[in-house]
Amino acid sequence: MDPYKTAAREGIGPTLGDLPAAPDLGSIPVPVAPGIFTRIAALAARIKKHPGYTEAIGQNLGTIGADQTVDLNAMKPGLQIVLQAGHPNVAWKKQSMDSLEIWVDRGTGMFAFLALDTEPDYLDTAPLPVPGTSAVWKYKAIYRLHDEQVGQWSDVASISVMG
């Protein structure tokens, strides 16, 4: 058996000696005042406006970000449908697009144009099925930019509605 385990368990055998003293960490630092990101952004803007500012300085300071490109062909809306007062609410994110073209299938097996929505989300206020019956409504959508369809159609999202 390990003599150090025996010493720890039973108090007999070799000892490890005195433990080292804990280091003195000094005083606790003063917390940073709120608004640090606002101050940093203002400082970066001030530096960029200076007449001696160059792109090399911006690269060294990290104030020039990488060029961001959006692949318009790959844009695909994500739809989430929930009931709101019995009517389907189509939730979507704008992602810098102008609008969303929404199509619906109200159980006929064929999609029909529903709306061009410029502000998320879209509440479908169409009449519900006859009272006591239900139906499955399906939705699909595609982004629009400058009055043109952009990217891919969303996956079809469906929800059951009650009359």
130 within some domain: yes
Q: What is the mean pLDDT of residues 93-121?
A: 94
- Per cent of the chain over pLDDT 90 is 56
Q: Which residues contact 89 (CB under 8 A, 6 or more apart)?
A: 81, 82, 83, 121, 122, 123, 124
* 81: nearest Cα among 2, 159, 147, 13: 159
CATH number of the domain encompassing residue 92: 2.60.40.10
Q: What is the mean pLDDT of residues 3-8?
A: 73
41 within some domain: no
Phi then psi dihedrals of residue 9, to 5 deg: -80, -45
37 within some domain: no
CA atoms of 157 and 39, how far apart (whole Å): 44
Structure tokens at 61: 């300071």
Query: For residues 129, 133, 138 and 139, what is the CA-based torsion angle, rounded to 10 degrees?
Result: 30
4 within some domain: no
Is 79 in contact with 92 (CB distance < 8 Å)? yes
DSSP-derived letter for residue 157 is E
CA atoms of 115 and 140, how far apart (whole Å): 11
Phi then psi dihedrals of residue 47, to 5 deg: -65, -45
14 within some domain: no
* Reported pTM: 0.60
107 within some domain: yes
27 within some domain: no
User: Above 70 in pLDDT, residue 130?
Assistant: yes
Number of domains in the chain: 1
1 within some domain: no
Cis preceding-peptide flag for 121 (omega within 30 of 0):
yes
* Segments forming the whole domain that contains residue 88: 72-162
pLDDT band at residue 133 under the 50/70/90 scheme:
very high
Structure tokens at 50: 């200076």
Phi then psi dihedrals of residue 132, to 5 deg: 90, -5
